[in-house]
Structure 1
Amino acid sequence: MKLNCDVGESFASWSKGDDQLIMPYLDMANIACGFHASDPDTMSQTVALAKAHNVSIGAHPGYADLQGFGRRSIAHTQQQIVHLTLYQVGALQGICRLHHTQVDYIKPHGALYNDMMQDIGLYSAMLQAASILNLPLMILATERSDYVQLAKRANVTLIHEGFADRRYGANKQLAPRSLSGAVLEDVKQVEYQAKAMLNKHTFKSIDQQDIRLHADSICLHGDNANALVFAKCLRSLIDGQQ
């Protein structure tokens, strides 16, 4: 199991997250590419930080929505989704070349990620972009056979992801942030959910249904107020499974 985290989400003089403190605990860093957050200087600093800690670098593209932090859906054609993904990943690849490293995978951000998991056309566009770039694509660990088959046809490797600090619906989709309790703030709750994923046990959805996820990686949100506490807890749990 790998621990991944959304990082590099500061912008100009606006600071978000404790990347310097969290990075040593990570296996994978999902770095914002400038559309929902970040800027060239922040991208460069975050890539350098990830490289210094031997953390795998992922591109974290989102909708062009700085004001809404990429959490608002914006209608696009499939070709536009391909273009915005190539544009953002390409920018991060350029920064990585500066630091003599590389982008290892793509993880969509926020509303783009949620929309991809609901709209098979949008998902197909993300697969097309990932195929062009010859990069794996991270998706929710919902075990949708149609999504798996489409990825195989596109020759794209999937990384199935579970979230430790977000509640789920009974359909194994993330519960909307607008719902009370959708974002976990207590380390005991995060530990409970992460243990279930690590051991492939059932855990309770936000509507108290038993669900089970088969994940390759567990995600932590770097902008959570308790992110550093969660990172330490999750690192300990994952290392204890080795």
Structure 2
Amino acid sequence: MAAAIDLNCDLGESFGAWRLGDDETMFGLVTSANVACGFHAGDPLTMRRSVELAARHGVALGAHPGYRDLAGFGRRALDAAPEELAAELLYQLGALDGLARAQGVRVRYVKAHGALYHRLGADERAAAAFAEALAAYDPALPVLGAPGGAIERAATAAGLRFAREAFADRGYGADGLLRPRGAAGALVTEPEEVAARAVALATTGAVPLADGGALELAPDSICLHGDTPGAPELARRVRAALEDAGVRVRAFA
């Protein structure tokens, strides 16, 4: 049985007049916050408010860089060269870390967003460029990502700590990959099911599959999405279920 598990969430995704999610509530329910850095979502004021909320609630602040794709919310695959990805990582990380320093805190880890997250799991050259750029910025910053992919190998090669992530509110295929958004079973929104999946991940390291099998992931952190309808109540149910199961919820970083 896991003694402890991290609960992370993608937050700070509002932009200008457009509001997404209930950050005020969600920062009080999770232990790590993946904050958008202005490319796929977020803006300087939203980022600053996210830093303030993280500091107020004692939540680990994570940089959540993505493709330069506000219109597509970073979920469209872009053919950016590895060296461009590395430069854009540093640009986004530096922006959030600067705002954090002004509040007396620091970015504690990095997790890629959306289509970039998936690319880094499969593209060895892109993953190496990403990890090497992060190691050059701060070799003490961990990478949070999907286990067993190119980014885990690249992070290890660059001397970075790699934290394994699993999703309680997303469906997996037997190949270990998340089901594409829009496919049957891709999104899991029923609170009791999401809570049960989170407990299984924390206590057994595995998540149930639709065919009756189970996928071994052994996560350090469990992700919930802040833009899921009813996300705050879902997070409350998940956290309560974990604590009822004797799992201590704490930041991995």
TM range (shorter): over 0.9
Runs of 4+ in 1 over 2 A off after TM superposition: 146-153, 201-210, 237-240
Aligned residue in 2 for 1:4 = 8
Partners of 2:206 and 2:218 within 8 A in 1: no
* Separation in structure 1 between the aligned mates of residue 41 and residue 21 of structure 2, nearest angstrom: 12
Q: d(CA) in 1 for partners of 2:217 and 2:110?
A: 21
Deviations 1:91-143, CA, capped at 9 Å, x for gaps: 001111111110001000000001111211111122112211221111113x3
Give the count of matched residue pairs: 240
Distance 1:180 1:221 in 2: 18
The unaligned stretches of length 5 or more in structure 1 are none
Q: Which of 220, 225, 247 is matched with 1:221 structurally?
A: 225
1:192 to 2:191 alignment: no
Q: 1:74 to 1:207 in 2, by over 3 A?
A: farther
Structure 2 unaligned residues grouped into runs of 5+: 249-253
Number of the residue aligned with 1:70: 74
Match of 1:171 in 2: 175
Cα-Cα RMSD: 1.5
Which residue of 2 is the match for residue 16 of structure 1?
20
Matching residue of 1:36? 40
State the Cα distance separating 1:207 from its structure 2 match. Answer: 5.3
After TM superposition, give the deviation of residue 204 of structure 1 in Å.
Answer: 2.9
Any idea what SS the aligned residue of 1:4 has?
A: strand
Q: Does 1:26 align with 2:30?
A: yes
What are the within-5 Å matches in structure 2 for residues 230-241 of structure 1?
A: 230-239=234-243, 240-241=246-247
Identity %: 40
**Structure 1 residues 195 and 31: CA distance shift in structure 2, 3 A:** same
TM-score normalised to structure 1 length = 0.94
- Name the counterpart of 2:131: 127
Instruction: Describe the shift of the 1:88–1:171 C-alpha distance in structure 2 as closer, same or farther (beyond 3 A).
Output: same
Q: 1:32 to 1:148 in 2, by over 3 A?
A: closer
Give the alignment's TM-score, normalised by structure 2: 0.90
Alpha-carbon distance in 2 for matches of 1:132, 1:206: 41
Of residues 127, 130, 143 in structure 2, which corresponds to 1:137?
A: 143
